Chains A and B, each alone.
Chain A
């Protein structure tokens, strides 16, 4: 129910209604809750409203964090797994 779908803004009208592209399908949504959004931005859309801008950069950072995980918990995992992780990122 709280699902929000990533969508790309194609155009915006004067009433803050946007045409968005959702995996190739064209839909409309309101930008009232994300008024700073611009054409070309990606937004999360929930029940007809954009609720969040999404940054492509952030996705990349999240992934990088996953790779660092073993290193974060060195105390519990011992050095071997940490070394493995370093090898992978090297």
Chain B
């Protein structure tokens, strides 16, 4: 496999020319809903390279960014429970909750460890039976089966000191909220690559069938993304919205059935609060009855502070695609990657961080 082919400048130019001829002077709003796409689009300067009428909006594609203040506060409260070791992916550490961050708690002596995989958290639990290890489960469908598998493994091994705080979120319900938003007109979705590796394309069909909005599952190289955009533009021009898979090297149309079975075994849908999108029915995943012994919320009932939202921060509007990051009055001034105010500036995959880092990037 030659990954460089997907970065071929000639092919990139060709696709841009095709897109230009296809779009003419039409305007359309296309939204990417995957943080990795947000970063790729920024890195390769695609937002400015596409024809003027094609607006690329960033949606709720960064799991850390859509995590509500309450869930962040709950993770922080977990770290204050005596004898609890919190294990988390790195980008959660700096995200501000209502009054503090996990990182600040660590500086005050809380046992918070950054891990690359829930397997690392399992290993801590095995080696340190005197500690209760709580893994902070944040992520979309890509991450759910990985965390689910860790819970199955803990059950098989009879580990009694491994727990998960499940704040996982499903992608499709958030897309439906955006499709219904009267303040945002979306003409096509650049659908996530690795979420779709797990889910396949079925969960997106309703977008075309009910809302008349097309979607293309897209890879991460510039040629992949321009191909996805061109296909979406063609759907808009032809008025034939459909759901397509343009990332077949990473996504089977049916998804990963083993991973889907793992999710179904370990989790069950529940209502969940999203930053910017409010409570979305059945968009979260809590630990199912069968694995309740591994549910950190059940085991520890932490004392969570009342939620306070940050003044002036417009991450919520950014996540809905209502405003571009640089339209927030804090962007680049009070809020920057060194001193982030909102989560979209904290996570490297957040829309604000990507806009900030790549603001001057040419194609």
Instruction: Assess the A81–B18 pair: CB atoms within 8 A.
Output: yes
What's the minimum C-beta distance from A54 to chain B, rounded to whole angstroms? 6
| Pick from B62, B256, B347: contact of A33, CB under 8 Å | B256
Instruction: Assess the A66–B149 pair: CB atoms within 8 A.
Output: no
Residue B21 is within 8 A (CB to CB) of chain A in the complex: yes
What's the minimum C-beta distance from A75 to chain B, rounded to whole angstroms? 7
- The contact string, 1 if C-beta is below 8 Å from chain B, for chain A 1-38, is 11110100000000000000000000000101111000
Q: Which residues of A contact B140 (CB under 8 A)?
A: 2
Instruction: Assess the A30–B149 pair: CB atoms within 8 A.
Output: yes
Instruction: Assess the B143–A77 pair: CB atoms within 8 A.
Output: no
What's the minimum C-beta distance from B10 to chain A, rounded to whole angstroms? 10
Q: Which residues of B contact A90 (CB under 8 A)?
A: none
Residue B248 is within 8 A (CB to CB) of chain A in the complex: yes
Within 8 A of A (CB), among B249-291: 249-252, 256, 258-259, 262
Q: How far, in whole Å, are A75 and B3 apart by their CA atoms in the complex?
A: 31
| Pick from A3, A54, A73: contact of B234, CB under 8 Å | A73
Q: How far, in whole Å, are A4 and B219 apart by their CA atoms in the complex?
A: 11
Instruction: Assess the A48–B120 pair: CB atoms within 8 A.
Output: yes
Residue B15 is within 8 A (CB to CB) of chain A in the complex: yes
Q: Which residues of A contact B234 (CB under 8 A)?
A: 72-73, 76
Residue B5 is within 8 A (CB to CB) of chain A in the complex: yes
Closest A residue, CB atoms, query B34: A2
Q: How far, in whole Å, are A75 and B197 apart by their CA atoms in the complex?
A: 32
Instruction: Assess the B146–A33 pair: CB atoms within 8 A.
Output: yes
Within 8 A of A (CB), among B222-247: 223-224, 227, 230, 234, 237-238, 246-247
| Pick from B15, B22, B35, B91: contact of A2, CB under 8 Å | B35
Would you list 8 pairs from A and B whose C-beta atoms are within 8 A, ordered by A residue? A1-B63, A1-B143, A33-B145, A47-B117, A47-B146, A51-B197, A62-B224, A62-B246
**B interface list, Cβ under 8 A from A:** 1-3, 5-6, 11, 15, 18, 21-22, 34-36, 62-64, 89, 91, 116-120, 139-140, 142-143, 145-146, 149, 152-153, 192-195, 197-198, 219, 223-224, 227, 230, 234, 237-238, 246-252, 256, 258-259, 262, 347, 349
**A interface list, Cβ under 8 A from B:** 1-4, 6, 30, 32-35, 42, 44, 46-49, 51-52, 54-56, 58-63, 65-66, 69-70, 72-73, 75-78, 81
| Contacts A4-B197, A32-B262, A73-B237 known; 14 new A-B pairs at CB < 8 A | A1-B62, A1-B349, A2-B35, A32-B152, A46-B146, A47-B116, A48-B146, A51-B194, A54-B1, A62-B224, A73-B18, A73-B234, A76-B22, A77-B21
